[in-house]
Amino acid sequence: MIFGAASSAQFIMRKNAKEFEDEFPEAARVILEQHYMDDYLDSVDSVEEALDLITGVEEVHKRGGFQIRNWTSNSKEVLKLIPTEKRTRELKDVEIEKELPAERVLGLHWNPNEDCFLFKVEPKEIMEILEKKAITTKRKMLKIVMSVFDPHGFLCHFTLKARILLQEIWKMVSGWDDKLEHSVNEKWLKWLQDLRKIEGVKIHRCYLDDNTERKIQLHTFCDSSSKALAAVSYFRILSYQKIYSNIVMAKSRVSPLKTLSIPRLELQGAVLGARLARTIRENHSIPINRQYFWTDSRTVISWLKSDSRKLKPFVSHRVNEILDISEENEWNWISIKENVADEATRDNINCEWSELSRWNIGPSFLRCDEDT
């Protein structure tokens, strides 16, 4: 195996797991499906299942000459049964009965006590700019924006505003170390003030809070403006006890510099939404009973119901891609007021940071008793 080569490490690990598939079927499955490089991330319903998997995964890796270590869990009962030397460095000197320290999980910050994801920022550089001890340049601005690691898009309705601003600066053809113009700098300082608030944001990891019989729907909202396009997806969980919804993932991007009409941008947003829903379905083991797509563009709905052969190539290609991923009857029109994706495509809307904000749990109609 070539030292340090990601492809070689992945190949050897998977080959080793397949060799012991018959003897350790469940452990081999999670090594093949739940490992990311040399990290293992999984979720089970009981302490017994967790311990069986830990034992099985350790044994399979051991037979290939690998030692898996740095275990952590949000279950103190599980942690007590893991030898101290096998726990993460942060847990070796901590009393399990007390509050557990936050951990880094695949680049994200995770609080095991509340089982939620957190976000951290580097305050020193931000405060220097806010207190006018340092000037803002395009280089510094890009560095701060890219330092917010958010692969699931939980904060994309906020970070997209800075990316729109970066595009505005790019159009000005300024140098990397030139001072920003006053009008742009004012917007940037306001965004930085809001950036400090993200340390209070909590995104709960668990979608389902019980094991009762339930139906799960996937709702994806799409929107576009002259500045950006975005899509955000929610699980709507229906059980006999209650109906609730949670954000799953979001995706956004700034509009291309080449001018496109709003209907075409809305179609691009619909493509983004269809791709997002496909990614969620393919990467979740949770059974999804039905999926819905929502857009506030009647033109997009009309195009999806038309014969694609009669449409212009730009529209036809994108309509065909959407209908390859989804069904025509899964697409619905929604008003701009109800479309939650609209929060990400406007740079003049203030972000809400509470756990029960519309962005985190979706629009109110997702939690109505009537079926959608």
Residue ranges per domain, the chain? 6-100, 123-200, 208-367
- 4-23 in b/e form (b: 16+ CB < 10 A) is eeeeebeeebeebbeebeee
pLDDT tens-digit map of 250-272 = 999 999 988 899 999 999 999 99
pTM: 0.89
**Contact yes or no for 27/56 (Cβ under 8 A):** yes
Give the pLDDT of residue 290: 94
Give the pLDDT of residue 38: 78
| Cβ partners under 8 Å of residue 253, min gap 6 | 160, 163, 228, 229, 230, 272
CATH number attached to the domain at 208-367: 3.30.420
**Phi, psi for 187 (deg, rounded to 5):** -65, -40
Residue among 145, 358, 344, 352 at smallest CA distance from 228: 344
Q: Average pLDDT for residues 321-342, to the nearest whole number?
A: 95
pLDDT tens-digit map of 269-324 = 999 999 999 999 998 888 899 999 999 999 999 999 998 888 999 999 999 999 99
- Per-residue pLDDT at 351 exceeds 70: yes
The identity of residue 159, as a single letter, is T
- Per-residue pLDDT at 123 exceeds 90: no
